[in-house]
Chains A and B, each alone.
Chain A
Amino acid sequence: MAENKEISVLSFTKKVLNAFDEVAKRKVFKKGSFLLREGEIERNIYLIEKGAVRVFYLSEFEEIIFRLGYDGSIINSLSSFVSNKPSEFYIQTIRQTKVKIISKETLQHILKESQDSLEQYTEFLEYLLIQQIDREIDLLTASPAKRLERVLKRSPDLFQHVPLKYIASYLRMKPETLSRVRNS
Protein backbone atom coordinates (compact mmCIF):
# COMPACT_ATOMS: atom_id res chain seq x y z
CA MET A 1 0.00 0.00 0.00
CA ALA A 2 2.68 2.42 1.06
CA GLU A 3 4.72 1.46 -1.98
CA ASN A 4 1.82 2.16 -4.31
CA LYS A 5 1.48 5.59 -2.82
CA GLU A 6 5.15 6.29 -3.45
CA ILE A 7 4.76 5.37 -7.12
CA SER A 8 1.74 7.63 -7.55
CA VAL A 9 3.54 10.49 -5.95
CA LEU A 10 6.42 9.89 -8.33
CA SER A 11 4.24 9.90 -11.41
CA PHE A 12 2.46 13.02 -10.26
CA THR A 13 5.78 14.67 -9.54
CA LYS A 14 6.95 13.70 -13.00
CA LYS A 15 3.94 15.31 -14.52
CA VAL A 16 4.43 18.43 -12.49
CA LEU A 17 8.06 18.47 -13.54
CA ASN A 18 7.09 18.35 -17.19
CA ALA A 19 4.71 21.19 -16.59
CA PHE A 20 7.58 23.06 -15.00
CA ASP A 21 9.68 22.71 -18.08
CA GLU A 22 6.89 24.23 -20.09
CA VAL A 23 6.27 27.18 -17.82
CA ALA A 24 9.94 27.31 -16.82
CA LYS A 25 9.77 28.94 -13.42
CA ARG A 26 12.96 28.21 -11.58
CA LYS A 27 14.61 30.20 -8.89
CA VAL A 28 17.69 30.12 -6.75
CA PHE A 29 17.29 31.43 -3.24
CA LYS A 30 20.16 32.54 -1.06
CA LYS A 31 20.63 30.97 2.35
CA GLY A 32 18.14 32.42 4.83
CA SER A 33 15.63 33.64 2.20
CA PHE A 34 11.94 33.33 2.82
CA LEU A 35 9.84 31.54 0.23
CA LEU A 36 6.84 32.53 2.31
CA ARG A 37 6.23 34.54 5.46
CA GLU A 38 3.53 34.35 8.06
CA GLY A 39 0.53 36.39 6.94
CA GLU A 40 1.16 35.93 3.22
CA ILE A 41 -1.08 33.74 1.11
CA GLU A 42 0.54 30.65 -0.36
CA ARG A 43 0.06 30.56 -4.12
CA ASN A 44 2.72 28.03 -5.08
CA ILE A 45 3.98 24.53 -4.71
CA TYR A 46 7.76 24.22 -4.54
CA LEU A 47 9.85 21.35 -5.70
CA ILE A 48 13.30 21.43 -4.20
CA GLU A 49 15.91 20.53 -6.78
CA LYS A 50 18.91 21.11 -4.61
CA GLY A 51 19.23 22.57 -1.14
CA ALA A 52 17.14 22.50 2.01
CA VAL A 53 14.27 24.42 3.56
CA ARG A 54 12.46 24.45 6.86
CA VAL A 55 8.81 25.20 7.51
CA PHE A 56 8.24 26.69 10.93
CA TYR A 57 5.71 28.28 13.21
CA LEU A 58 6.80 31.29 15.23
CA SER A 59 5.58 31.64 18.80
CA GLU A 60 6.46 34.64 20.94
CA PHE A 61 9.36 32.61 22.31
CA GLU A 62 10.72 30.34 19.60
CA GLU A 63 10.61 29.00 16.08
CA ILE A 64 9.06 25.56 15.96
CA ILE A 65 9.99 23.53 12.90
CA PHE A 66 7.34 21.16 11.73
CA ARG A 67 8.56 20.21 8.28
CA LEU A 68 11.92 19.90 6.61
CA GLY A 69 12.47 19.58 2.89
CA TYR A 70 15.51 18.84 0.78
CA ASP A 71 16.50 17.45 -2.63
CA GLY A 72 13.37 15.99 -4.21
CA SER A 73 10.86 17.24 -1.62
CA ILE A 74 7.64 18.93 -2.61
CA ILE A 75 6.75 21.56 -0.08
CA ASN A 76 4.51 24.55 0.60
CA SER A 77 2.25 26.01 3.28
CA LEU A 78 -0.55 23.65 2.43
CA SER A 79 -3.41 24.96 4.56
CA SER A 80 -2.92 28.47 3.15
CA PHE A 81 -2.57 27.11 -0.38
CA VAL A 82 -5.86 25.22 -0.11
CA SER A 83 -7.88 27.81 1.81
CA ASN A 84 -6.42 31.07 0.38
CA LYS A 85 -6.07 32.29 3.94
CA PRO A 86 -2.88 33.91 5.32
CA SER A 87 -0.20 31.37 6.12
CA GLU A 88 0.55 30.69 9.76
CA PHE A 89 3.96 29.40 8.78
CA TYR A 90 7.24 30.57 7.35
CA ILE A 91 9.22 28.70 4.72
CA GLN A 92 12.92 29.58 4.83
CA THR A 93 15.96 28.20 3.05
CA ILE A 94 18.59 26.59 5.25
CA ARG A 95 21.25 27.04 2.57
CA GLN A 96 21.33 28.18 -1.04
CA THR A 97 18.42 26.36 -2.61
CA LYS A 98 17.33 25.73 -6.17
CA VAL A 99 13.58 25.35 -6.53
CA LYS A 100 11.05 24.79 -9.24
CA ILE A 101 7.84 26.67 -8.65
CA ILE A 102 4.38 25.80 -9.85
CA SER A 103 1.57 28.25 -9.25
CA LYS A 104 -1.91 27.29 -8.19
CA GLU A 105 -3.22 28.43 -11.57
CA THR A 106 -0.78 26.23 -13.47
CA LEU A 107 -1.61 23.31 -11.24
CA GLN A 108 -5.32 23.76 -11.82
CA HIS A 109 -4.65 23.91 -15.51
CA ILE A 110 -2.82 20.57 -15.39
CA LEU A 111 -5.59 19.03 -13.34
CA LYS A 112 -8.23 20.06 -15.86
CA GLU A 113 -6.33 18.39 -18.65
CA SER A 114 -7.12 14.83 -17.71
CA GLN A 115 -8.92 12.59 -15.28
CA ASP A 116 -5.56 10.89 -14.75
CA SER A 117 -3.89 13.95 -13.30
CA LEU A 118 -6.82 14.55 -11.03
CA GLU A 119 -6.60 11.03 -9.67
CA GLN A 120 -2.88 11.34 -9.21
CA TYR A 121 -3.30 14.64 -7.44
CA THR A 122 -5.84 13.10 -5.11
CA GLU A 123 -3.40 10.32 -4.31
CA PHE A 124 -0.71 12.88 -3.78
CA LEU A 125 -2.91 14.68 -1.24
CA GLU A 126 -3.68 11.36 0.43
CA TYR A 127 0.04 10.75 0.67
CA LEU A 128 0.46 14.12 2.35
CA LEU A 129 -2.30 13.16 4.75
CA ILE A 130 -0.42 10.00 5.69
CA GLN A 131 2.72 12.07 6.24
CA GLN A 132 0.75 14.36 8.49
CA ILE A 133 -0.57 11.49 10.57
CA ASP A 134 2.94 10.03 10.83
CA ARG A 135 4.08 13.38 12.10
CA GLU A 136 1.30 13.45 14.65
CA ILE A 137 2.38 10.07 15.98
CA ASP A 138 5.97 11.39 16.13
CA LEU A 139 4.85 14.15 18.42
CA LEU A 140 2.82 11.79 20.59
CA THR A 141 5.83 9.52 21.00
CA ALA A 142 7.29 10.26 24.41
CA SER A 143 10.73 8.71 24.09
CA PRO A 144 13.23 10.94 22.24
CA ALA A 145 15.10 7.87 20.97
CA LYS A 146 11.93 6.38 19.47
CA ARG A 147 10.98 9.70 17.92
CA LEU A 148 14.36 9.86 16.20
CA GLU A 149 14.05 6.25 15.09
CA ARG A 150 10.68 6.88 13.46
CA VAL A 151 11.93 9.90 11.56
CA LEU A 152 15.11 8.17 10.38
CA LYS A 153 13.02 5.28 9.09
CA ARG A 154 11.08 7.71 6.93
CA SER A 155 14.04 9.89 5.94
CA PRO A 156 17.27 7.92 6.34
CA ASP A 157 19.44 10.65 4.80
CA LEU A 158 18.06 13.53 6.87
CA PHE A 159 21.36 14.18 8.64
CA GLN A 160 23.17 14.58 5.32
CA HIS A 161 20.87 17.43 4.36
CA VAL A 162 19.84 19.31 7.47
CA PRO A 163 21.90 20.76 10.35
CA LEU A 164 21.50 19.14 13.74
CA LYS A 165 19.88 22.14 15.45
CA TYR A 166 16.98 22.13 12.98
CA ILE A 167 16.46 18.38 13.28
CA ALA A 168 16.39 18.82 17.05
CA SER A 169 13.67 21.49 16.76
CA TYR A 170 11.72 19.25 14.37
CA LEU A 171 11.93 16.42 16.90
CA ARG A 172 10.94 18.77 19.75
CA MET A 173 14.09 18.09 21.73
CA LYS A 174 17.17 20.03 22.79
CA PRO A 175 20.23 19.73 20.52
CA GLU A 176 22.07 18.11 23.45
CA THR A 177 19.36 15.47 23.77
CA LEU A 178 19.55 14.75 20.06
CA SER A 179 23.30 14.22 20.09
CA ARG A 180 22.96 12.02 23.17
CA VAL A 181 20.31 9.74 21.62
CA ARG A 182 22.21 9.66 18.34
CA ASN A 183 25.37 8.46 20.01
CA SER A 184 23.80 5.76 22.15
Chain B
Amino acid sequence: MRIDQDQLIEKLLDLTRQAKDSTNKFKELQPATVSFRPSPNEWSILECLEHLNLYGDYYLPEIETQLLKSEAIEETPYFKSGILGDYFVSAVKADNGKKMKALKYMDPSNLELSITTIDRFLKQLNTLESLLEQSRKVNLSKVKTAVTLSRFIKIRLGDTLRFLVYHNERHIVQAERVLKKISSEQREDNSLLDSSVNHGSRSSVIADGV
Protein backbone atom coordinates (compact mmCIF):
# COMPACT_ATOMS: atom_id res chain seq x y z
CA MET B 1 0.00 0.00 0.00
CA ARG B 2 1.26 3.48 -0.92
CA ILE B 3 -0.58 6.58 0.22
CA ASP B 4 0.06 10.20 1.11
CA GLN B 5 0.88 10.20 4.81
CA ASP B 6 -1.57 12.94 5.72
CA GLN B 7 -4.34 11.18 3.83
CA LEU B 8 -3.69 7.98 5.74
CA ILE B 9 -3.81 9.79 9.07
CA GLU B 10 -7.03 11.60 8.13
CA LYS B 11 -8.62 8.27 7.31
CA LEU B 12 -7.47 6.68 10.56
CA LEU B 13 -8.67 9.70 12.55
CA ASP B 14 -12.04 9.46 10.88
CA LEU B 15 -12.40 5.76 11.73
CA THR B 16 -11.34 6.51 15.30
CA ARG B 17 -14.04 9.17 15.62
CA GLN B 18 -16.59 6.62 14.39
CA ALA B 19 -15.29 4.16 16.98
CA LYS B 20 -15.87 6.80 19.65
CA ASP B 21 -19.45 7.36 18.51
CA SER B 22 -20.23 3.65 18.70
CA THR B 23 -18.56 3.34 22.08
CA ASN B 24 -20.53 6.27 23.47
CA LYS B 25 -23.68 4.39 22.47
CA PHE B 26 -22.50 1.28 24.34
CA LYS B 27 -22.01 3.50 27.37
CA GLU B 28 -25.73 4.22 27.54
CA LEU B 29 -26.64 0.53 27.83
CA GLN B 30 -27.58 -1.35 30.99
CA PRO B 31 -24.79 -3.26 32.80
CA ALA B 32 -26.62 -6.53 32.15
CA THR B 33 -26.76 -5.82 28.42
CA VAL B 34 -23.09 -5.04 27.99
CA SER B 35 -22.02 -8.13 29.92
CA PHE B 36 -24.44 -10.45 28.09
CA ARG B 37 -22.85 -13.30 26.13
CA PRO B 38 -24.91 -14.50 23.15
CA SER B 39 -23.45 -17.98 23.71
CA PRO B 40 -20.88 -19.40 26.16
CA ASN B 41 -17.99 -19.02 23.73
CA GLU B 42 -18.89 -15.65 22.28
CA TRP B 43 -17.67 -12.44 23.85
CA SER B 44 -19.93 -9.87 25.46
CA ILE B 45 -19.72 -6.20 24.44
CA LEU B 46 -17.52 -5.52 27.46
CA GLU B 47 -15.21 -8.38 26.53
CA CYS B 48 -14.86 -7.09 22.97
CA LEU B 49 -13.82 -3.69 24.31
CA GLU B 50 -11.53 -5.06 27.00
CA HIS B 51 -9.76 -7.10 24.32
CA LEU B 52 -9.07 -3.79 22.56
CA ASN B 53 -7.94 -2.22 25.83
CA LEU B 54 -5.39 -5.01 26.28
CA TYR B 55 -3.92 -4.19 22.87
CA GLY B 56 -3.94 -0.48 23.70
CA ASP B 57 -2.12 -1.21 26.95
CA TYR B 58 0.75 -2.52 24.87
CA TYR B 59 0.70 -0.37 21.75
CA LEU B 60 -0.17 3.12 23.01
CA PRO B 61 2.91 3.44 25.29
CA GLU B 62 5.07 1.76 22.63
CA ILE B 63 3.96 4.26 19.98
CA GLU B 64 4.50 7.17 22.34
CA THR B 65 8.00 5.98 23.21
CA GLN B 66 8.94 5.68 19.53
CA LEU B 67 7.43 9.09 18.71
CA LEU B 68 9.49 10.71 21.44
CA LYS B 69 12.64 9.20 19.98
CA SER B 70 11.88 10.27 16.42
CA GLU B 71 12.96 13.29 14.48
CA ALA B 72 10.45 15.68 12.98
CA ILE B 73 10.08 15.78 9.21
CA GLU B 74 10.08 18.85 6.98
CA GLU B 75 7.67 17.73 4.29
CA THR B 76 4.98 15.09 4.07
CA PRO B 77 6.25 11.86 2.53
CA TYR B 78 4.32 8.96 1.09
CA PHE B 79 3.71 6.03 3.37
CA LYS B 80 4.55 2.58 2.07
CA SER B 81 3.42 -0.51 3.96
CA GLY B 82 5.91 -3.18 5.03
CA ILE B 83 5.24 -6.80 4.08
CA LEU B 84 4.74 -8.05 7.63
CA GLY B 85 2.84 -4.95 8.74
CA ASP B 86 0.48 -5.15 5.81
CA TYR B 87 -0.08 -8.85 6.55
CA PHE B 88 -1.09 -8.06 10.15
CA VAL B 89 -3.44 -5.31 9.01
CA SER B 90 -5.22 -7.43 6.43
CA ALA B 91 -5.56 -10.24 8.98
CA VAL B 92 -7.55 -8.04 11.38
CA LYS B 93 -9.69 -6.06 8.96
CA ALA B 94 -13.35 -6.49 9.84
CA ASP B 95 -14.41 -7.28 6.29
CA ASN B 96 -12.05 -10.18 5.67
CA GLY B 97 -14.63 -12.56 7.16
CA LYS B 98 -12.09 -14.85 8.79
CA LYS B 99 -12.55 -15.92 12.38
CA MET B 100 -9.50 -15.72 14.56
CA LYS B 101 -8.69 -17.01 17.99
CA ALA B 102 -7.38 -14.39 20.40
CA LEU B 103 -3.94 -14.86 21.88
CA LYS B 104 -4.18 -16.11 25.42
CA TYR B 105 -2.79 -12.93 27.01
CA MET B 106 -5.23 -10.83 24.99
CA ASP B 107 -8.23 -12.94 25.99
CA PRO B 108 -10.57 -10.95 28.24
CA SER B 109 -13.01 -13.78 28.98
CA ASN B 110 -11.75 -14.59 32.46
CA LEU B 111 -11.40 -11.01 33.65
CA GLU B 112 -13.74 -9.24 36.05
CA LEU B 113 -15.21 -6.46 33.93
CA SER B 114 -17.42 -3.47 34.68
CA ILE B 115 -18.61 -0.35 32.89
CA THR B 116 -15.19 1.19 33.55
CA THR B 117 -14.04 -0.99 30.64
CA ILE B 118 -16.04 1.27 28.32
CA ASP B 119 -14.76 4.49 29.89
CA ARG B 120 -11.23 3.17 29.72
CA PHE B 121 -11.62 2.35 26.05
CA LEU B 122 -12.90 5.88 25.38
CA LYS B 123 -9.81 7.26 27.09
CA GLN B 124 -7.63 5.00 24.98
CA LEU B 125 -9.37 6.27 21.83
CA ASN B 126 -8.59 9.84 22.91
CA THR B 127 -4.96 8.91 23.43
CA LEU B 128 -4.91 7.20 20.04
CA GLU B 129 -6.32 10.35 18.42
CA SER B 130 -3.58 12.51 19.90
CA LEU B 131 -0.92 9.98 18.89
CA LEU B 132 -2.30 10.03 15.34
CA GLU B 133 -2.04 13.83 15.33
CA GLN B 134 1.53 13.68 16.58
CA SER B 135 2.41 11.04 14.00
CA ARG B 136 1.91 13.58 11.23
CA LYS B 137 5.28 15.04 12.18
CA VAL B 138 7.35 11.90 11.74
CA ASN B 139 8.09 9.57 8.85
CA LEU B 140 5.55 6.74 9.19
CA SER B 141 7.65 4.40 7.07
CA LYS B 142 10.92 4.96 8.91
CA VAL B 143 9.74 4.99 12.54
CA LYS B 144 9.15 1.45 13.77
CA THR B 145 7.44 -0.14 16.73
CA ALA B 146 7.75 -3.60 18.25
CA VAL B 147 4.76 -5.97 18.10
CA THR B 148 3.16 -7.86 20.98
CA LEU B 149 4.41 -11.21 19.72
CA SER B 150 8.07 -10.30 20.17
CA ARG B 151 9.99 -7.13 20.83
CA PHE B 152 12.47 -8.25 18.18
CA ILE B 153 9.88 -8.02 15.44
CA LYS B 154 9.34 -4.42 14.35
CA ILE B 155 6.81 -3.01 11.94
CA ARG B 156 6.42 0.47 10.47
CA LEU B 157 4.57 3.01 12.59
CA GLY B 158 2.09 3.60 9.75
CA ASP B 159 1.23 -0.11 9.80
CA THR B 160 1.01 -0.15 13.61
CA LEU B 161 -1.50 2.70 13.51
CA ARG B 162 -3.47 1.00 10.75
CA PHE B 163 -3.41 -2.26 12.70
CA LEU B 164 -4.74 -0.62 15.86
CA VAL B 165 -7.48 1.34 14.11
CA TYR B 166 -8.72 -1.59 11.98
CA HIS B 167 -8.48 -3.98 14.91
CA ASN B 168 -10.67 -1.56 16.90
CA GLU B 169 -13.13 -1.44 14.05
CA ARG B 170 -13.25 -5.24 13.80
CA HIS B 171 -14.28 -5.75 17.39
CA ILE B 172 -16.64 -2.79 17.53
CA VAL B 173 -18.47 -4.33 14.59
CA GLN B 174 -18.51 -7.59 16.59
CA ALA B 175 -19.92 -5.77 19.64
CA GLU B 176 -22.61 -4.17 17.50
CA ARG B 177 -23.56 -7.61 16.21
CA VAL B 178 -23.95 -8.80 19.80
CA LEU B 179 -26.20 -5.85 20.56
CA LYS B 180 -28.35 -6.59 17.53
CA LYS B 181 -28.77 -10.18 18.70
CA ILE B 182 -29.84 -9.00 22.14
CA SER B 183 -32.40 -6.57 20.76
CA SER B 184 -33.93 -9.17 18.45
CA GLU B 185 -34.22 -11.66 21.33
CA GLN B 186 -35.76 -8.90 23.37
CA ARG B 187 -38.53 -8.41 20.90
CA GLU B 188 -39.40 -12.08 21.30
CA ASP B 189 -39.15 -12.05 25.04
CA ASN B 190 -40.04 -8.85 26.82
CA SER B 191 -38.64 -10.06 30.11
CA LEU B 192 -35.11 -9.82 28.71
CA LEU B 193 -32.94 -6.93 29.66
CA ASP B 194 -34.22 -3.57 28.59
CA SER B 195 -31.47 -1.34 27.36
CA SER B 196 -33.51 1.76 26.79
CA VAL B 197 -34.90 2.67 30.17
CA ASN B 198 -33.21 4.01 33.27
CA HIS B 199 -29.78 4.36 31.76
CA GLY B 200 -28.36 5.77 34.94
CA SER B 201 -26.16 3.64 37.09
CA ARG B 202 -28.16 2.87 40.17
CA SER B 203 -29.87 -0.21 38.76
CA SER B 204 -27.95 -2.48 41.09
CA VAL B 205 -29.49 -1.26 44.32
CA ILE B 206 -30.84 -4.33 46.07
CA ALA B 207 -33.24 -2.31 48.18
CA ASP B 208 -34.92 -1.12 45.02
CA GLY B 209 -35.58 -4.71 44.10
CA VAL B 210 -33.45 -5.05 41.00
**Mask of B42-84 contacts with A, CB within 8 angstroms, 1/0:** 0000000000000011001100000000000000000000000
Residues on A with C-beta less than 8 A from B124 are 60
- Partner of A32 from B57, B60, B61, B204 at Cβ < 8 Å: B204
B123 in contact (CB, < 8 A): yes
Stretch at the interface among B111-119, B133-141, B167-175, B182-190: B111-119
Instruction: Determine whether the beta carbon of B60 is less than 8 Å from that of A60.
Output: yes
Instruction: Determine whether the beta carbon of B115 is less than 8 Å from that of A37.
Output: yes
In angstroms, Cα B116 to Cα A34, docked, is 10
Most chain B beta carbons < 10 A, residue from A32, A60, A63: A60
In angstroms, Cα B116 to Cα A82, docked, is 24
Instruction: Determine whether the beta carbon of B116 is less than 8 Å from that of A29.
Output: no
In angstroms, Cα B205 to Cα A32, docked, is 11
B126 in contact (CB, < 8 A): yes
Residues on A with C-beta less than 8 A from B56 are 60-61
Q: Nearest chain-A residue to B117 (Cβ)?
A: A58
Instruction: Determine whether the beta carbon of B116 is less than 8 Å from that of A63.
Output: yes
B120 in contact (CB, < 8 A): yes
B197 in contact (CB, < 8 A): no
Q: Nearest chain-B residue to A36 (Cβ)?
A: B201
A70 in contact (CB, < 8 A): no
**Mask of A18-36 contacts with B, CB within 8 angstroms, 1/0:** 0000000011111011100
Known: A29-B205, A30-B204. 14 other contacts (CB 8 A): A27-B207, A28-B206, A32-B204, A34-B204, A37-B115, A60-B60, A60-B120, A60-B123, A60-B127, A61-B57, A61-B120, A90-B116, A92-B114, A96-B206
A-B pairs, 8 with minimum CB distance: A60-B123, A33-B204, A60-B124, A28-B206, A30-B204, A34-B201, A28-B207, A60-B127
Could you give 19 example pairs across A and B, Cβ below 8 Å? A27-B207, A28-B206, A30-B204, A30-B205, A32-B114, A32-B204, A33-B205, A34-B114, A37-B115, A37-B119, A37-B201, A38-B119, A60-B120, A60-B124, A60-B126, A61-B57, A63-B116, A90-B116, A92-B114
